Amino acid sequence: MQVPAPFEYERATSVEDALARLARLGPEARVIAGGHSLLPMMKLRIAAPEHLVDINDLDDLAYIREEGEEIRIGALTRHRELMASELLAGRFPIFAEAERTIADPVVRNRGTLGGSLCQGDPAEDLSAVCSALGATVVIRGSGGERTVDIHDFHLGPYETAVGDAEMLVEVRIPVRPGAGSASVKVERRAGDWAIVGAATALWLDGGQIADAGVVLSAVGPTTLRVPRAEEELRGQSPTDELFDRAAAIASEDCDPSGDQRGPSDYKRHLAGELTRRALRRSAARALGQEV
């Protein structure tokens, strides 16, 4: 039986209380909400925090709302809420699409957006979704708030820009006209981590692609943005030939490692194929077509 190393447990009553506890307890303290990523790592002794600060009572961090030209999502928003949100379904269907392939109902009922992003797992689905959409994240500490571009948030495997005595509190996604987005992945069994995943977003203007996001998961040490593919797409009409070229770039620019989920050449092939499928679906949604 796998048992975590000993730790102390505290329950925060507000964001300010949580930050104060983290500052008092020091760098060996971690926040916990759903715990579906952190607890398995603790049981395997990959992570051994000395203190856990429970933030499940922080209801003011659980919301999905539109403010101005942004969708703002609180870090404590559960997977099930992301999947069921009519606002997200209308603006960014990529969320519900990704959520349907994440784990199982038990995990989706308790796991949170903030926990998923802060885990920093290169195979994690929502990091790719947020990256494709060009999100920014809000990090709060005792000195106030700072915003970080999602592309700068993941510093390495299981490492993020959230510092000691800080918390991720919000994700902000810009709302722009002509948007379409999609998420696809191949997994060994339903709800598993991706063998390879692709998340894409397109913004059309006058029948051409004004901007694009192309992001891969499980093909490197972090979620992988593919800038060359994005540049190939910009200023072009959405066609299968264009998507084939972008898919080839995605396949070339990733560097997957072979493991129990498959050899590297198979994963590289998947990266191209899934990018192609996601781009076609994104374009269809941007054009208002049925998918």
pLDDT computed for residue 116 by the predictor: 92
Question: Using one digit for the tens of pLDDT, what is the confidence trace for 141-170?
Answer: 988 999 999 999 999 998 999 999 999 999
Residue 43 lies in a domain: yes
Domain match, 163 and 211 both: no
- Domain finish residue from 155, 174, 193: 174
pLDDT score for 30: 92
Contacts of 72 by beta carbon, 8 Å cutoff, 6+ apart:
63, 64, 65, 66, 170, 171, 172, 173
| First-to-last C-alpha distance (Å) of the chain | 46
Is residue 3 a part of any domain in this protein?
no
| Dihedral of the alpha carbons of 151, 140, 171, 127, in degrees to the nearest 10 | 40
Query: What is the band of 191 on the pLDDT scale with cuts at 50, 70, 90?
Result: low
Entry pTM? 0.94
Q: Is the residue at 1 inside a domain?
A: no
In a domain, 2, yes or no: no
Residue 260 banded pLDDT, cuts 50, 70, 90: confident
β-strand 29-32 against 51-54: which pairing, if any?
Answer: parallel
